[in-house]
Amino acid sequence: MSILIDQISKKYGDHTVVDQVSLDVDDGELVVLLGSSGSGKSTILRLVAGLILPDEGRIMLSGVDITHLPPQRRGLGFVFQNYSIFPNMTIAENIEFGMKIRKVPLRERKARSEHLLELVGLPGMGSRYSSQLSGGQQQRVALARALAYEPPVLLLDEPLGAVDTKTRIQLRQSLKSILKDIGVTTMMVTHDQQEAFELADRVAIMNNGQIEQCGLPGDVYYNPATQFTADFVGDINFFEGRVTASTTEECEIELFGHWPVRRRGSHPFQPGRNVLYGVRPEQIRVSLLEPETYENGIKGVIEKSMFFGDVTRYSIRLDGGSVLDVRVLNYLFIEGMVMPYELNEEVWLIWSQGSGIILADETAPQPNGLSTAS
Amino acid sequence: MNQGKAFYKKISHMLPAGFLVLVLLPLLLLPLASVFIYALRGGLGNLAAALTTTDVLFALRFSLIIAFATAVINTVLGTYAAWVLSKTRFPGREQLGIILNLPVAIPNVVVGTSLLLLWGPIGLFGQVLEPLGIQPMFTPVGVLLAHVFVTFPYMLGTIKPVLDDLETTYEEAAYTMGASRWQTFLHVLFPALKGGLLTGALLTFAHSLGEFGATVMVSGNLRLRTQTAPLYIFSQFESGNIQAANSVAAVLAILSFALFSLILFLAARTGKKGAQRGK
């Protein structure tokens, strides 16, 4: 079943939590709402579930308007962040609850609950209580319970938010395979970017009650539409620059007034336009040698290095005065492919002219007559 | 020198507990003990005779019936009030919570007086009701009304914290799974409240059993009609019949002791059950 969220808004007092949000989720698709706490993502999920009602807009389920239906009549599956497994019921009774309400015969309920426990990797645990299970096991029970009555849509509110990092990674994989097997239309909320990218068919980035960008994980990461999105998904170094030349094939930008960098592809910025130029740390390599003509390069001095296990992060002060972060895979040092860099050593930072993000710098004054469109 | 220090340390450690056992405990237990001593002074035969008079049997039965009815009524009213205060949002909710707890702060005699002023023959409602032949004061209904009023906060105070602690997402989870409000209450909220309901009901029952201040005002202390056990004790003391007063006092003390033991036992069992489930 598909979901259509059309211009919904929700206010608490004077505070707008969800601001004219529109989003569509196709049948069988998994869309993840990714945002920091307070961005309004959980409120959207609760609006879809019917736990709260919108002030404006409408919500459609396969073309049927469900905006004002109570949650009981929507029949959707909901997994809460704290799981909310009923403590007075056994795990099996919890899973069977939705079916019991729907008057499914006892034998059928039992069979389905056993099947679901097997599906989520908890066979034979039906007679236990929630307090006897770990956080990860409770999460699986919550999922099984939400799937028990075969809802047309599954809503997951930070489903892996309350478990430790290792369990989270394991659960992420099993969640993905279960959801893929079932093929249920799913909306999930998380603040964890890795989780979103791993599970989502599409990611919607939320900020201040609005969707900043919605697209495939790769698109959102490599072609962010706003500085917020670029910043929110992964690390990025941003510099103020000015477009010096722009053709259908490439765009030349001057950083710090004297460092030219190029970006392949067509861009809508005219020469003279102030822009933000961003490059992700993993796209940059550190070298003692000058860049090739088909590469971008800036000179800098190693100011700080930090060991992170798999990578070393170097903070490099550039000629223009800014500091840029670069990550170097540590195995390159171990294999002798790259010599470790010393503090205060002068190096080149080099990256491909095919990478780099150009965004309109809305804060910078623009020369007269130039387009402000990005 | 070291031995002296150790002895001093031991004594100073035992001092707080010693004060409790030697000074405070007798202060609490001696009056209670004296009730039993006086009740048994004339022997078991006299005690039995004192307890089987028509007046005593009526007073004890009347007290138990009123306490039971009060507990039942306040279980419903208190749970409803606790649910409204805990699970719904409206302006003035906190102020309403304070007002509903007022009967605990107001002296029971004042409660009795105010009920008389409202429902009595010259009271606001009483004046209207009397021509219709309805007069709740000085009848069992008046006694029940007073007991419901003064013991109301006990059930509310027991249930509301349990509901406050019960996360809203339990209810929401039930709603999303298709359960109606009533089904959610029955299957999700009520099981979580069971222990609290029993404790609150017993607490209400025990307080009603011993209620005096409001009862004496609204009942008229009419023997074989509205005289509760505490009123009987008071009347017998006033007329110098110490043996009869103490006999009923002893029965009330034993009943109250049994009730509070049961409350403590239930509370301990609920805790143990929770701990076992947690293993």
Confidence of residue A371 (pLDDT cuts 50, 70, 90): very low
Residues A268 and A219 in one domain: no
When the pLDDT of each residue in chain B is averaged and rounded to a whole number, the result is 88
Q: Domain locations in chain B?
A: 48-269
Q: Is A145 on the interface with B (CB under 8 A)?
A: yes
> What is residue B276's predicted lDDT score, i.e. its pLDDT?
45
Least confident of B35-44, B84-93, B218-227: B35-44
Confidence band, pLDDT 50/70/90 cuts, at residue A105: very high
d(CA B221, CA B217): 8
Query: How many residues belong to chain A?
Result: 374
What's the mean pLDDT in B53-74?
A: 95
* CB burial readout B100-115, b (16+ within 10 A) else e: beebeeeebeebbbbb
Task: Sort out which chain B residues have CB atoms less than 8 A from A87's CB and list them.
Answer: 192, 277
Q: Which residues of A touch B274 (CB under 8 A)?
A: 131
Question: CB contact, 8 Å: A98 with chain B?
Answer: yes
Same domain flag for A241 and A152:
no
Q: Both A197 and A333 in a single domain?
A: no
Chains A, B: CB contacts within 8 A come to: 68
Q: Which two tokens stand for residue A176?
A: 């993905």
**What's the pLDDT score for residue A366?**
53
Are residues A68 and A216 part of one domain? yes
Strand boundaries in chain B, DSSP class E: none
Considering the domain architecture, whether residues A190 and A132 belong to the same structural domain is answered as yes
Asked if A319 and A299 count as a contact pair (C-beta separation under 8 A), the reply is yes
Question: In chain A, how many domains are there?
Answer: 2
- Judge whether A22 is closer than 8 Å to chain B, CB to CB: no
H-helix segments, chain A: 41-49, 71-74, 91-101, 106-119, 135-147, 165-182, 193-199, 217-222, 227-232, 330-334
How large is the average pLDDT for residues B179-197? Answer: 89
**Residue B178 and residue A75: Cβ atoms within 8 Å?**
yes
**Is residue A354, in this structure, part of any structural domain at all?**
yes
Among A198, A229, A260, the domain-final residue is A229
Please indicate, yes or no, whether residues A141 and A271 belong to a single structural domain of this protein: no
Residue A184 in any domain: the answer is yes
CB < 8 Å to A49, chain B: 172, 176
DSSP character string of A48-81: HHTSS--SEEEEEETTEE-TT--HHHH--EEE-T
Which residues lie below 8 Å from residue A333, measured CB to CB, with a gap of 6+? A312, A339, A340
d(Cα A310, Cα A22) in Å, to the nearest integer?
A: 40
Taking the C-alpha atoms of residue A330 and residue A340, their distance in angstroms, rounded to an integer, is 9
* Structural domain contains residue A159: yes
Q: How far apart are CA A332 and CA A335, in angstroms?
A: 5
Q: Final residue of a domain: which of A182, A207, A229?
A: A229
Same domain, A222 and A274: no
| Residue A270, pLDDT score | 83
Interface of B with A in 152-181 (CB under 8 A): 167, 169-170, 172-180
State the CATH number of the domain containing residue A325: 2.40.50.100
Beta-ladder partners of A156? A79, A188
**A368 occurs within a structural domain:** no
Distance, CA of A93 to CA of A96 (rounded, Å): 5
Residue B250's nearest CA partner among B47, B82, B12, B52 is B47
Buried b vs exposed e over A15-34: b needs ≥16 C-beta within 10 Å? Answer: ebbbbebebebeeebbbbbb
Beginning with the edge strand found earlier in the chain, give each strand of the sheet holding A15-25 in spatial order. A15-25, A3-12, A56-61, A64-65
Tell me what the mean pLDDT of segment A265-286 comes to.
Answer: 86
Same domain, A191 and A253: no
Average pLDDT of chain A, as a whole number: 88
State the CATH number of the domain containing residue A225. Answer: 3.40.50.300
Alpha-carbon distance B272 to nearest alpha carbon in chain A (angstroms): 14
pLDDT at A186 over 80: yes
Range of the domain at A160: 3-229
Return the residue matching tokens 């073309």. Answer: A63
Contact A51 B178 (CB under 8 A): no
* Model pLDDT for residues A138-162, shown as the tens digit of each residue: 988 998 999 999 899 999 998 887 7
CATH number for the domain running over B48-269? 1.10.3720.10
What does the pLDDT read at residue A373?
35
Distance from CA of A98 to the nearest CA of B (A): 5
> What is the C-alpha separation between B230 and B64, in angstroms, rounded?
11
Structure-token pair, residue B24: 């405070």
Chain B residues touching A131 at Cβ < 8 A: 274, 277-278
Q: What is the pLDDT at residue A319?
A: 76
The answer to whether B226 and B65 are in contact (CB under 8 A) is: no
B58 vs A242, B146, B205, CA distance in Å?
Answer: 99, 19, 18
Any A CB within 8 A of B133 CB: no
Least confident of A280-284, A332-336, B157-161: A332-336
ipTM: 0.81
| Same domain flag for A283 and A216 | no
In a domain? residue A366? no
* Residue pLDDT, tens place only, A248-261: 888 899 887 778 88
- Which 3 state secondary structure label does DSSP give A83? coil
Tens-digit pLDDT profile for residues A39-62 = 999 999 999 999 999 999 999 999
Average pLDDT over residues A204-209: 94
CA–CA gap between residue B187 and residue B178 (Å, rounded) = 12
Select from A190, A207, A229 the last residue of a domain. A229
Here the tokens at position B68 are 């039971």
> Is A97 inside a domain boundary?
yes
Asked if the model's pLDDT at residue A364 lies above 80, the reply is no
Asked whether residue A371 is assigned to any structural domain, the reply reads no
